[in-house]
Structure 1
Amino acid sequence: MGLEDAGDLVLHTVFSKIGPESTARVACVSKRLQVSASEESLWSIFCSRDLNISSPLDPHGDLGPSFKTAYQLWRESFRMYPWELVKRVRLCWDNLKLWLSLNFPEAKATLRKGATEDDLQELETVLKVKLPLATRLLYRFVDGQELSSSNGLDGYLGIIGGYSVYSHEVNVYLLPLKKMIRETKVAIRHLNSSSISNLVIVAASVVASLKIFFLDCTNGQLYTVTSNRQLLPCVPDSLVHDINGDQKQDALLLWLEEHGRRLQTGAIKIREEENIKSISLFPEFPPLCSIAITNGVQVRASSVFIPEISNLRDQPPAYWYAYSIRMSLVPEGCILKGTHHSSCQLYWRHWVIRADNEVIDNVNGEAVIGKYPLLQAGEEEFVYESCSSFPTTAGAIEGSFTFVPGSLRDPKGSQFEVKVAEFSLELPDYIF
Structure 2
Amino acid sequence: MGLEDAGDLVLHIILSKIGPENTARVACVSKRLQVSASEESLWSIFCSIDLNISTPLDPHGDPAPSFKTAYQLWRESFRMYPWNLVKRVRRCWDNLKQWLSLNFPEAKATLRKGATEDDLEQVETALKVKLPLPTRLLYRFVDGQESSSSNGSLGLIGGYSFYTHHVNVYLPPLKEVIWETKETMKLLGISSRLNLIVVAVSAVSSLKFFFLDCTNGQLYTGTSTRQMLPCVPDSLVRSVHDTNDDHQQDAMLLWLEEHGRRLQTGTIKVRQQDNMKSICLFPETPPLCSVAVTNGVQVRASSVFIPEISNLRDQPPAYWYAYSIRMSLLPEGCILSGTHHSSCQLYWRHWIIRADGAVIDTVNGEAVIGEYPLLQAGEEEFVYESCSNFPTTTGAIEGCFTFVPGSLKDPKGSQFEVEVAEFPLKLPDYIF
Shorter-chain TM-score tier: over 0.9
Distance 2:386 2:373 in 1: 15
1:222 is matched with: 219
Indicate the residue corresponding to 1:106 in structure 2. Answer: 106
Structure 2 residue matching 1:414: 3-state secondary structure = coil
The superposition leaves residues 403-426 of structure 1 with CA deviations (integer Å, 9 ceiling, x where unpaired) of: 001111111111000000001111
In structure 2, the partner of 1:155 is 152
Asked if the contact 1:147–1:155 (Cα under 8 Å) also holds between the matched residues in 2, the reply is no
The residue identity in structure 1 corresponding to 2:88 is R
Partner of 2:242: none
Query: Which structure 2 residues correspond to residues 16-415 of structure 1 after superposition, within 5 A?
Result: 16-148=16-148, 154-194=151-191, 197-241=194-238, 249-415=249-415
Q: Deviation per CA, 1:147-205: give whole Å up to 9, x if none.
A: 228xx8x3210000000000000000011101000111112223334375310000000
Structure 2 counterpart of 1:192, one-letter code: G
Question: Alignment partner of 2:215: what SS?
Answer: coil
Task: Give yes or no for contact 2:219–2:251 (8 Å, CA) kept in 1.
Answer: yes
What are the Cα deviations for residues 322-380 of structure 1, in whole angstroms up to 9, with x where unaligned?
Answer: 00000011111111111111111100000000111111111000000000111111111
What amino acid is the match of 1:110? T
5+ long unaligned stretches in structure 1:
none
Structure 1 vs Structure 2: percent identity of aligned residues? 82
CA contact (8 A) 2:349 2:401 kept: yes
Q: Deviations over 1:224-281 (max 9, x none)?
A: 0000110000001111148xxx995210000000000000111000011110110000
Contact 1:129–1:217, Cα closer than 8 Å, also in 2? yes
Structure 2 residue aligned with 1:4: 4
**1:176 partner letter:** P
Query: Which stretch shows the higher mean deviation, 247-256 or 172-181?
Result: 247-256
Q: Cα distance, 1:297 vs. partner? A: 0.5
Indicate how the Cα distance of structure 1 residues 319 and 273 shifts in structure 2: closer, same or farther if over 3 A, else same.
same
How far, CA to CA, are the matches of 2:273 and 2:351 in structure 1? Answer: 26
1:87 Cα deviation after fit: 0.3
Amino acid at match of 2:277: K
Distance 2:88 2:406 in 1: 55
Kept in 1: contact 2:270–2:279 (CA 8 A): yes
Alpha-carbon distance in 2 for matches of 1:31, 1:187: 61
User: Deviation digits for residues 199-230 of structure 1, max 9, x if unmatched?
Assistant: 00000001111100000001000000000110
- Report if aligned partners of 1:188, 1:196 keep a CA contact under 8 Å in 2: no
Alpha-carbon distance in 2 for matches of 1:294, 1:288: 20
Could you tell me how far apart the structure 2 residues matched to 1:248 and 1:420 are?
Answer: 44
Q: Indicate the SS of the match to 2:331.
A: coil
TM-score w.r.t. length of structure 2:
0.97
- Contact 2:291/2:298 (<8 A) preserved: yes
Structure 2 CA distance for aligned equivalents of residues 11 and 431 of structure 1: 49
Residues of 2 paired with 1:196 and 1:317: CA distance?
Answer: 29
Q: What secondary structure is seen at the aligned counterpart in 2 of 1:282? A: coil
Contact 1:341 1:406 in 2 (8 A): yes
Comparing 251-260 with 191-200, greater Cα deviation is found at: 191-200
Structure 1 position 319, deviation (Å): 0.6
Cα shift at 1:90 = 0.2
SS at match of 1:321: strand
Q: CA deviation at 1:72?
A: 0.2
On the 8 A contact 1:345/1:405 being kept in 2, the answer is yes
> CA, structure 1 residues 196+402, in 2 after alignment: closer, same or farther (shift >3 Å)?
farther
The answer to whether the Cα contact below 8 Å between 2:345 and 2:406 also exists between their aligned partners in 1 is: yes
User: Which is further off, 400-409 or 183-192?
Assistant: 183-192
Amino acid at match of 2:110: T
Distance in 1 between residues matched to 2:5 and 2:18, nearest whole Å:
18
Q: CA deviation at 1:315?
A: 1.4
- Considering only aligned residues, what root-mean-square deviation do their CA atoms show, in Å? 1.4
Asked if structure 1 preserves the Cα contact closer than 8 Å seen for 2:349 and 2:400, the reply is yes
Q: Runs of 5+ in structure 2 lacking a partner?
A: 240-244
State the 1:143 CA deviation: 0.3
Q: Distance in 2 between matches of 1:310 and 1:101?
A: 35
Rounded Cα–Cα distance in structure 1 between residues aligned with 2:48 and 2:191: 46
**Contact 1:353-1:398 at 8 Å conserved across structures:** yes
SS at match of 2:201: strand
- Distance across 2 between alignment mates of 1:81 and 1:239: 20
- SS for the counterpart of 1:256 is helix
- Could you say which residue in structure 2 is the equivalent of 1:423? 423
Q: CA–CA distance in 2 between the matches of 1:148 and 1:193?
A: 28
User: Does the CA contact (< 8 Å) of 1:188 and 1:197 recur in 2?
Assistant: no
